[in-house]
Amino acid sequence: MNWVIRKAGLGKVTSYYLLMWMFIAMMGSGCLQPRDVYYLNGSGSQEISVLKEFQDPKVKIGDQLSIFISSSNLESVVVFNLPNFSSTQQSNNMNGGGTNTNPLLGFIVDASGEINLPKIGKVKIEGLTFSESKSTLEGKLREYVKDPIVHIRYLNFRVSVLGEVQSPGTFNVTFQDINIFQAVGLAGDLTMFGKRNSVIVMRNVGDKCQLARLDLTSSDIIKSPFFHLQSGDVIYVEPNPTKLKVSSSFYQTWPAITSGTTLFVLLLTLFLK
């Protein structure tokens, strides 16, 4: 009889420890280490040289550009600047009643890589940098405008952020200098399930698509040509192993398994008393 009681007690203790170790193993397998969550690990206080190409981007087909022309003779540039504005603004400005000079329409780079300037006609600027496009346009404008100065900026600069972020979507940016951290910030930052050491950036270059994987936890990311984004870039944040485990059928059925096991151990203990 004593042997049966000791055996029952041993079975109870064994079952208790078995449940405890199963719980610890489950929790441990889903834990994230600080290095998996922190950005720019090991960067400290230092200066890192970054690429400057993003400051002078190349014009692509489909770009919507504000091309504003200035000169000492304001009347000579009015006709060239009109395409930057909507018809309503044009009417207001011509009648002297408009004060809003924010460009709304701009010039679209067509499928041939050209823009259509008043009086001048079509000018191919696809593949040129903004500074090269500026020089090209100023050269063609000198026939009509004294000492023209061309200012170019994006009107449709946009990036898309998808995957494990708080607010995925496509974001219009009012400036052309945006890095991957700023884009992630627009999307509300990564969730705890985002894979920070392998974020994919997809970029269209001509008729090809380039893919790069960036490690947001490493300070070396600043040296990457994909750190500063270009218009049309798509960022995809993959789920980390923890998210995959939590989403698995095992983790979804784990509460039922633990409840059933606990009930079984309790019934077994009562039966052996």
What's the pLDDT tens digit per position in 153-162?
Answer: 899 899 999 9
Q: What is the mean pLDDT of residues 122-144?
A: 94
Nearest to 80 by CA among 121, 112, 133, 134: 121
Domain topology for 63-154: wza like fold (3.30.1950)
Per-residue CA distances from 223 to 47, 68, 100, 229 (Å) = 11, 33, 40, 13
Mind listing the pLDDT tens digit for each residue in 73-118?
A: 888 889 898 888 764 444 444 344 444 444 458 899 999 999 999 9
Contacts of 246 (CB under 8 A, 6+ apart): 30, 193
pLDDT at 90: 41
Domain topology for 36-54+157-239: Outer membrane lipoprotein wza fold like (3.10.560)
The token pair that represents 32 in the structure block: 């994230």
pLDDT at 240: 85
- Which of residues 180 and 177 earns the better pLDDT score? 180
Read off the pLDDT band of 215 (50, 70, 90).
very high
Which residue ranges make up each domain of the chain?
Answer: 2-32+245-272, 36-54+157-239, 63-154
Calpha distance 153→177 (Å, rounded): 11
| pLDDT score of 214 more than 90 | yes
Mind listing the pLDDT tens digit for each residue in 14-34?
A: 555 555 555 555 555 445 555
- The model's pTM is 0.66
